[in-house]
Structure 1
Amino acid sequence: MSSYHDYQKQIAELQAKAEAARHAEVAEAKAKIKAIMSEYGLTVADLGGASRQAPKTPRKPVEIKYKDEATGDTWTGRGRAPKWLEGKDKNQYLIR
């Protein structure tokens, strides 16, 4: 019967063999891909993979819907209502 130490040693050996096999398979796959690409004159761009995204255009600022003429405070109407509008009729401050 094998001991724990023997199993750990076998695991380490198998992991090393698996890593070596993976490196060999990856190298072989790369060689095949390069051969096929050169045979057909393909480039990475032709494969249509991870292309760069176009830069996002900046958003237009939200228009102001409410304004307190006395203080100049404004609110777009989005999100939580500001303190200066608390307990007041919003329609009085609506920009027309």
Structure 2
Amino acid sequence: MATYKELLARKQELDAEIEEARRVEAEAALASVRETIAAFGFTPDDLFGTRRKSRSVPIAAPRFRHPETGETWGGRGPRPRWLKGKDPEQFRVGE
């Protein structure tokens, strides 16, 4: 029966062989892919698809402004702390 150190040494040898085999096969696969791309004239969009444009929600124009800090709020989403418990009309920005 092999000792622990002998098994570790064999494992290191196998790991090195595995990595070398992976590198050689990866190079061959990449060469094949490049050859196919060139033969058919594929573009990056053909290979990876096109990016979808993000559907962004338009930013609301500021409707309320804190007089001291200048912070603004467009009226969407949760009410800011500086407006809690206060009448928002006193902070309304002129139209």
Please give the range of the TM-score, normalised by the shorter of the 2 chains: 0.5 to 0.7
- Partners of 1:34 and 1:67 lie apart in 2 by 58
Structure 1 gap segments, 5+ residues each: none
1:24-69 C-alpha deviation (Å, 9 max, x unpaired): 111221222233334x342443633276x5998x98653222357x
After TM superposition, the score normalised by the length of structure 2 is 0.59
Q: Tell me how far apart the structure 2 counterparts of residues 64 and 46 of structure 1 sit (CA, whole Å).
A: 40
Among the aligned pairs, what percent are the same residue?
A: 24
Query: C-alpha separation between the residues in 2 aligned to 1:66 and 1:50?
Result: 43
**Aligned-residue CA RMSD in angstroms?**
3.7
Q: Distance in 1 between matches of 2:36 and 2:84?
A: 70
TM-score normalised by length of structure 1: 0.59
The verdict on how the C-alpha distance between 1:66 and 1:37 changes in structure 2, with shifts beyond 3 A counting, is closer
Q: Give 1 or 2 for the bigger CA radius of gyration.
A: 1
